[in-house]
Amino acid sequence: MPITADPALDESVQTALTACGVTPSMLGGDHEVTTPLTGQTVASVNMASVDDVSAAIERADVAFRTWRDVPAPERGQVVKRWGELLTEHKVDLAVLVQAEAGKVTSEALGEVQEMIDICDFALGQSRMLYGRTMPSERPGHRLMETWHPIGVVGVISAFNFPVAVYSWNTALALVAGNTVVWKPSPATALCSLATDALLARAIAECGAPSDIHQLVITNPESAAPILDDPRVALVSATGSTRMGKEVSPRVAARFGRYLLELGGNNAAIVTPSADLDLALRGIAFAAVGTAGQRCTTMRRLIVHESIADDLVERLISAYGTLTIGDPRDEKTLVGPLINEASFTAMQDSLDQARAEGGKVITGGRRVLADENPGAYFVEPAIVRMPRQSQVVHTETFAPILYVMTYSSLDEALEMHNAVPQGLSASIFTQDITEAEIFLSARGSDCGISNVNIGTSGAEIGGAFGGEKETGGGRESGSDAWKAYMRRATNTINYSGELPLAQGVEFL
């Protein structure tokens, strides 16, 4: 297995893989997995072909015929055991998340904790797949709804949350009685192998059908059957808006379902009444956490003109204290970008911002290049922008915070809602009227809207997702389980008569 020039990294990765149940036979192949910590190869894996993907769908479809008839609370036991194994191997899996996605230690551990949390949630949900009983207009009749599994669920996940968002889908899909075919980002293949191995162990220990979960590490071209095969009842895809525009029409063409979690271009409004110390902490984490590579990263800051200069100076000071570097160091707060392409995109956006009258007031430079020539560590950037500009309408997956000013709340809301994305939003205010307006129909048009916290850091208890070009999908908590099931309306006649609805008479 190819290794990096960092023996400590290689040893920790190999130890974590072994602990999670990944055997040497699962490694080695034509695809090299690199780490953003150094830019070097840490392992290689085989990439699935189109035929391999089709075969995985076939296995999952056959397994569904058995799995759908298993009582939901029994299905929940598989997810319960998976959660126990994730708890046992939390540090091991976090090591792999860190090595492949570049997250600082607390964020890598937090991602695995999200998996554990959704397993807990899904276990409870397995006893609460509720339908309703409605009053019938006909005597001696009962009207009700029931919920049933839909079949094979295809899950396409992204590099930035290589295991958490996938688990939101998988835990709920499994307790709903579906089977899963998972296509992760090839950039995070090792996380995927380890996660699949732990789930396979849970499935075996619970005596469930072995094929209810299928992992296919492959490129977008070879993953085509997930989009095109009618046996895949639902495609849940996380990624860019561009990707969503390719996925949705193909799945819709065969009348399949899709659940999209796409781009976010998230903003916070800071009002004159805001607690600026609180706002500063919320903005800093939301803007620079995961090196700006979250779909909920704060990318726009809309500040009242009376406090903008003060807040910006505070932010500049806070940014100056950020420790950038090896995410394995406990003091590090900002790790690397995923690759060179992300760094290039960041520089292009900063150039566009300058061309549109913006001023980069701090950050934007690559650092640590001499020590890590293959890695892309950057200083998070703050850019003062005019109120009217185009670059702020585009999501750049890097730590750039565009700062704009407003004079009235209506103006701030108009600026906030002007972008094509609609994922996460926040307002910092001590004025209850401003908070309520922000959360009302005339306020934020995002799927997630917060008061006095940042735009990132969602809990699994609430449904996660956004509107407009974010795709409209909902995952994780609340009633997101319904996306993985089909609803049937049932009428039971116990009257001995045959009255028709609406008073219709026939024969």
Q: Which residues are catalytic?
A: 261
Given a contact cutoff of 8 angstroms between Cβ atoms, the answer to whether 381 and 400 are in contact is: yes
Q: Determine the 3-state secondary structure of 383 from DSSP.
A: strand
- Report the candidate in 424, 446, 449, 423 with the shortest Cα–Cα distance to residue 436: 449
Given a contact cutoff of 8 angstroms between Cβ atoms, the answer to whether 197 and 210 are in contact is: no
Q: Extract the tokens encoding 129.
A: 């797949």
- The residue to which tokens 């950038």 are assigned: 324
Count of CB atoms within 10 A of residue 133's CB?
A: 10
Given a contact cutoff of 8 angstroms between Cβ atoms, the answer to whether 73 and 174 are in contact is: no
Query: What's the CA gap between 35 and 43, in Å, rounded?
Result: 9
Q: Extract the tokens encoding 288.
A: 């620079």
Q: Determine the 3-state secondary structure of 133 from DSSP.
A: strand
- Residue 11 has φ and ψ, to the nearest 5°, of -65, -45
221: exposed, middle or buried (Cβ count in 10 Å: 0-12, 13-18, 19+) = exposed
Given a contact cutoff of 8 angstroms between Cβ atoms, the answer to whether 314 and 280 are in contact is: yes
Query: What's the CA gap between 290 and 107, in Å, rounded?
Result: 8
